[in-house]
Amino acid sequence: MPLLGVEKGALPRSNQAEAPVPLVQRPLPPARSPRDRERKVRGAGPRRRRPAAQVGPGPRSGTMPLGLRVKKKDKSKETCALVEGEPEGADGSHLPAPPRSPARLVFYTQLAHGSATGRVENFSNIRELYAKIAGVFEISPSEILYCTLNTPKVDMEKLLGSQIGLEDFIFAHVKGIKKSVNVYKSEDSLGLTITDNGTGCAFIKRIKEGSIIDSVKTICVGDHIESINGENIVGWRHFDVAKKLKELKKEELFTMNLIEPKKAFEIEPRSKAGNTSTGKIGTGRETLRLRSKGPATVEEVPSENNAKAIEKVDGLLETYMGIRDIELATTIFEAGKDKRNPDEFAVALDKTLGDFAFPDEFVFDVWGAVSDARRGL
């Protein structure tokens, strides 16, 4: 029987003389890294290049997923310095830490006619502030006419506007006695300057000496105007009330229903407001800026030049529109401080305060005040 794999008549390979094989010098195998030697010992085999058609990082059968046995790199000093939970960028660098939450701001308050002291916090605008004060003293927010800073008197120089010093004490003036007054309009100008508290309560901020209103002694600075000739104006802005009074016909009698603020036991003479709507703005301290839109922010008080410009704008509001509003004056000034010419300023006013329809003369005069502030005048 012939041997398997051997042709018939041929001798087995072991009995045949073998021809000498020439020596061929083969290149040495490439040196393997310790990681490859370790993989060989463990049976995983050297790492192979993945075919180009294969997509996805999933492991192949019979092998461990790449990177599982890779020794973790030591964290650099910069990485180790990160606090727990600090985010890292894609390149391993740490991202800037998120801004810290603002400090807790607490203000002390009383009712101007007398009360215990309360505390208010976490408000962003006048309406929220009034709600907080009302909650402290268990009254309705609509009962609050306005607030003054650091004095319980009806002092329009200290009227709370859009800024509160971080150390200011807030006095809330609430509704008191109602009164109805008849006024004969013998001249075009009544001599009234109107403002409002930001929540729909318009009141008298200034009475011009020798004017028609000055002759009616029952009308006082600080009185809330509730209605004119029977028309309820609660909720109107100050410029709408001023326009209503200006449109009253000359040589006619009209009626105003007023509400004066509740007073303490002492009786004081009627106060006369000064030329500005706020007291002198100090320097070197921070204030809480209240905004009708957006959160309140802590800001440095305006510089002396900017404060003068804002007061000028407030005076122009009284001259052209018969109102005083330091918040509105500040907004107007900020709209123009970075503009290059009056045309850009007018466009900015139309975008932010288009409802007011400011006359061109007013815009030009305000631009002059803004320009003076830039030059330090």
Do 257 and 185 lie in a common domain?
yes
Do 244 and 219 lie in a common domain?
yes
Task: Flag whether 340 is in a domain.
Answer: yes
Do 372 and 316 lie in a common domain?
yes
- Mapping DSSP onto H, E and C, the string for 271-334 reads CCCCCCCCCCCCCCCEEEECCCCCCCEEEECCCHHHHHHHHHHHHHHHHHHCECCHHHHHHHHH
Residue where a domain terminates, one of 132, 158, 173 = 173
Tokens of 264: 């303490």
DSSP secondary structure code for residue 31 in this structure: P
Distance CA 254, CA 268 (A): 28
pLDDT at 219: 94
Residue where a domain terminates, one of 209, 236, 261 = 261
Task: Flag whether 69 is in a domain.
Answer: no
**Count of domains forming the chain:** 3
User: Taking the alpha carbons of 340, 283, 151, 296 in that order, is the dihedral positive or negative?
Assistant: positive
pLDDT at 4: 44
| In contact, 181 and 255? CB cutoff 8 Å | yes
CATH code for position 191: 2.30.42.10
Do 150 and 183 lie in a common domain?
no
Do 169 and 195 lie in a common domain?
no
Task: Flag whether 76 is in a domain.
Answer: no
Do 180 and 164 lie in a common domain?
no
Do 145 and 162 lie in a common domain?
yes
What average pLDDT values come out for the chain (377 residues) when binned by 10 residues? 45 48 55 54 50 47 44 43 46 55 77 93 89 94 93 90 85 94 92 88 92 92 94 90 90 94 62 39 55 64 79 85 80 84 86 79 86 76
Task: Flag whether 219 is in a domain.
Answer: yes
Task: Flag whether 222 is in a domain.
Answer: yes
Residue where a domain terminates, one of 173, 205, 223 = 173
Q: Which domain holds residue 327?
A: 302-376
> What is the three-class DSSP state of 143?
helix
Task: Flag whether 286 is in a domain.
Answer: no
| In contact, 273 and 157? CB cutoff 8 Å | yes
pLDDT at 66: 43
Residue with tokens 């000498």: 20
**Measuring CA to CA, which residue among 201, 106, 110 is closest to residue 149?**
110
Do 366 and 309 lie in a common domain?
yes
- The pTM is what? 0.58
**Measuring CA to CA, which residue among 227, 244, 226, 204 is closest to residue 324?**
204
Do 228 and 167 lie in a common domain?
no
Task: Flag whether 3 is in a domain.
Answer: no
Task: Flag whether 35 is in a domain.
Answer: no
Distance CA 155, CA 173 (A): 11
